[in-house]
Structure 1
Amino acid sequence: MRHYPWGALIKGIWRTLVALVLTTAFVIVTGILAGGPSFTWLAVGLALSLFAAVPGYLLYRLGAPDHSAGNRVVMLLVLTFASVLGALLVLPAYMSREGVPTDAQVTHVVRAVSKVSEKRFPAYQVADRTTGENLGRLRFLSTEPKVGDTVRVRKDPRGWFNVTIADPTGRFTKLAALVVAVLGLSAFFLGAGGHMPDD
């Protein structure tokens, strides 16, 4: 009578969980970089997030049998996509929890240029309405405030992230979180199945 390979299943589960934890740790770091107040930091953070899955994947691969090579490739792709989306989620999630609501005044409106699409879009330089402290720039607002108008923002008391709008979470954040959850669940089942012995 053939016994179910519980040892292989448990091995696959714990290695997959460690892979996901390592990936998440790298995502937090890259998300902090991506939330910096310039396109350069955004590019650096997102570029590093492409490699966020590698440490977790390598640890997972050490215990995977040779016949699961296909699973290993899919696992790497799943972790990579989850890490990139996860990096984009760090800023709104952090600012929603830690950001300090502040009334800001628009001091300048400039026409910024996207270095990716080369399209122009308005960027709003804002300052703390009470202290006059420069808070940075806001982009992609749903309205078009003019110089002197007051906007509600959140500023990071630790200075890790650029200023954001008052409610940084939205439909994109919820959708991205759902995609990350689905990818994480897929990685879990792939990881567990990828360590099962070949019949």
Structure 2
Amino acid sequence: LEQQISQLQAKYAELLANYTTLKLQHQLILQQKTSLETRVETLEQQQEQMQAQLDQLSQQLENLTQQLQQAQQELADKTQRLSTLKSNLESLNTDLAVCQTQLTALQQRHSQLQEEHQQLQKQAETLKILLVVTTIALAAIAAYLAAKYIAGRHHSRRTTNMPLPPPPPPPPSVSSKNQQTKEVQEPPQDRKESKQ
């Protein structure tokens, strides 16, 4: 039982260490999730700003198209700027898609860690209950052995204080037969104690 208690305590310590590690990983993932969400919001804001600028430039492009004879160079500059903004917008869209994919993976990992966390908590509670039950059982066995030892000493003292008359010497055949019978048969009290 002491070995089982040591094993249970070691297993409980291992589970507690795993639980602490998973909890730290869970906190780190939450921090990463928050950072990615903030980045996604920033990218979305930048995307809206770029889209607004793109719309504005498109309107300017339409206006400049009507004034093509007067502002050809300005139209070329604005067209180049529009291409740059489109390229930046595509890059931002790509980054946004990557961030959304990472966020989905982190959310799945977060759910998995929560399930593992719940399982570890259940295992830890079970080990605590087993440890308490084993401790109570050891205490009960120790109390029973102590009571049995005290009762045995008390019975031994009473037997010592009451001297018995010497028995008559039995015949050799009868003595050997009685000795064999005593070796084969077990007293009822010893049988009861062995069962306990």
TM interval, short-chain normalised = 0.3 to 0.5
Query: TM-score scaled to structure 1, two decimals?
Result: 0.34
Q: Report the structure number with the largest CA radius of gyration.
A: 2
Q: Which has the higher contact order (CA 8 A, sep 6+)?
A: 2
With structure 2 as the length reference, what TM-score do the two structures score? 0.34
Q: Of Structure 1 and Structure 2, which has the larger fraction of its residues in strand?
A: 1
Q: More helix by proportion, 1 or 2?
A: 2
